[in-house]
Amino acid sequence: MINSQLKKIAVFTSGGDSPGMNACIRAVVRTAIYNDLDVWGIEQGYKGMIEGNFRQLKSSSVGNIMQKGGTILHSARCQEFRTKEGRKKAYDNLIKMGIQGLIAIGGDGTFKGAEIFTKEYNIPFIGCPGTIDNDLYGTDFTIGYDTAINTAMRAIDNIKDTAQAHNRLFFIEVMGRDAGFIALRSGIATGAEAVLIPEKKTNIEALISTLERLHKLKNSSSIVIVAEGDDEGGAFEIARKVGEKFKEHEIKVSVLGHIQRGGSPSCMDRVLASKLGLEATKALITGKRGKMVGQVNSKIVFTDFQRTTKHNLTINPSLLEMIEVLV
């Protein structure tokens, strides 16, 4: 059913930025305008909602932004939105602006905030999954994940060149505080000797045994990919522990850090972001609320906010097997 009362909506990005957010903003804006809606952008996510930082977006406002990383609406963490007083300020500003529906582009924290807000106030929310971690239930891939793993892959390939030139053991830390999806796929794609992720307890002794065995077989450099949330404390700490018993090797550590968040989004991310932005706007128009739009098996699906944040994706066991078998 078409919501004929819907005249003005707003879009914002929240939490960590991810490549493709701009393409999603563009799709929301142009779909809204195509359907005769006014569309406004909220600067700096929930922080901007509380501070009343709104600006109207026209079709020209989102021209020539698809290829840019980051987000033209900027993003911010907002502790004040965690309070009832902060959310009341946000609500008052939305009412003052006449906003009748919201599209939130972000990840786990963004949707938790949206879930609470929709329970307290009667303003429809639709979410678009924008996070490089790919850890949201209800979509095969999140906006920014494809770009992030390709960025990590290219960086690791470059490090492998110098590792082989000097016969070094490299520990490379990638993003993934709570999820190992980036580490796992980039590790498979670069032929890493081991991948350490939050979802699987790290056994330092077993890692050392593996590296010693592979060194005897191949007598070459080795690469170990470490997700930042690994239970042993990250790449530097693991390298220190391994180095104590693996003294014959020169050990180096590289932390890729926020290089994975930036850069021009891949074709896959631009298309996914555009598709989800369009479908999110259509969902508001047809009266949906409190749901994240995602793509599963190439089909658009809608998942309640609560399920996206409490039923995170699990690691595919076959990917873990690939690491063990193909080294």
Q: Do residues 17 and 130 both lie within one domain?
A: yes
Q: How many residues does the chain have?
A: 327
Q: How far apart, in whole angstroms, are the C-alpha atoms of residue 257 and residue 218? A: 30
Q: Do residues 34 and 89 both lie within one domain?
A: yes
146 labelled catalytic: no
Instruction: Note whether residue 325 is domain-resident.
Output: no
Instruction: Note whether residue 1 is domain-resident.
Output: no
Phi-psi region of 203 (alpha: psi -120 to 50; beta: other; left: phi over 0): beta
Q: What is the pLDDT of residue 319?
A: 79
Instruction: Note whether residue 3 is domain-resident.
Output: no
Taking residues 209-232, what's their average pLDDT? 81
* CATH code, domain carrying 52: 3.40.50.450
Q: Do residues 140 and 12 both lie within one domain?
A: yes
Instruction: Note whether residue 326 is domain-resident.
Output: no
Q: Do residues 164 and 225 both lie within one domain?
A: yes
For residue 119, pLDDT over 70 is answered with yes
End-to-end CA distance of the chain: 54
Q: Give the structural domain span for 53.
A: 8-144+265-310
Instruction: Note whether residue 214 is domain-resident.
Output: yes
> Interhelix angle for 317-326 vs 181-190, to 10°?
30
Taking residues 296-305, what's their average pLDDT? 95
Q: What is the pLDDT of residue 276?
A: 98
Q: What is the pLDDT of residue 234?
A: 87
* C-alpha dihedral sign at 160, 166, 262, 117: positive
CA-CA distances (angstroms) from residue 326 to 171, 197, 315?
Answer: 19, 18, 18
Q: Do residues 269 and 131 both lie within one domain?
A: yes
Q: Do residues 223 and 299 both lie within one domain?
A: no
Q: Do residues 14 and 121 both lie within one domain?
A: yes
Q: What is the pLDDT of residue 148?
A: 96
Q: Do residues 167 and 191 both lie within one domain?
A: yes
Instruction: Note whether residue 323 is domain-resident.
Output: no
Instruction: Note whether residue 290 is domain-resident.
Output: yes
Q: At a CB cut-off of 8 Å and minimum separation 6, what does 246 contact?
A: 169, 208, 211, 212
CA-CA distances (angstroms) from residue 215 to 80, 246, 248?
Answer: 52, 11, 11
Q: Do residues 132 and 28 both lie within one domain?
A: yes
b/e burial code for range 139-153 (CB count within 10 A of at least 16 → b): bebbbbbbbbbbbbb
CA-CA distances (angstroms) from residue 130 to 66, 133, 232?
Answer: 14, 9, 28
Q: Please, are residues 20 and 265 in contact by the beta-carbon 8 Å criterion?
A: yes
Q: How far apart, in whole angstroms, are the C-alpha atoms of residue 103 and residue 39? A: 10
* CATH code, domain carrying 243: 3.40.50.460
**Reported confidence tier of residue 176, pLDDT bands at 50, 70, 90:** confident
At 275, list the tokens: 């598709």
Name the domain count of the chain: 2
**Reported confidence tier of residue 151, pLDDT bands at 50, 70, 90:** very high
- Catalytic annotation, pick one of 133, 135, 146, 230: 133
Residue 242 identity (one-letter amino acid): V
> What value does the CA radius of gyration of the chain take, rounded to a whole number of Å?
22
Instruction: Note whether residue 107 is domain-resident.
Output: yes
Q: Do residues 119 and 187 both lie within one domain?
A: no
Q: Do residues 127 and 15 both lie within one domain?
A: yes
Q: Do residues 185 and 80 both lie within one domain?
A: no
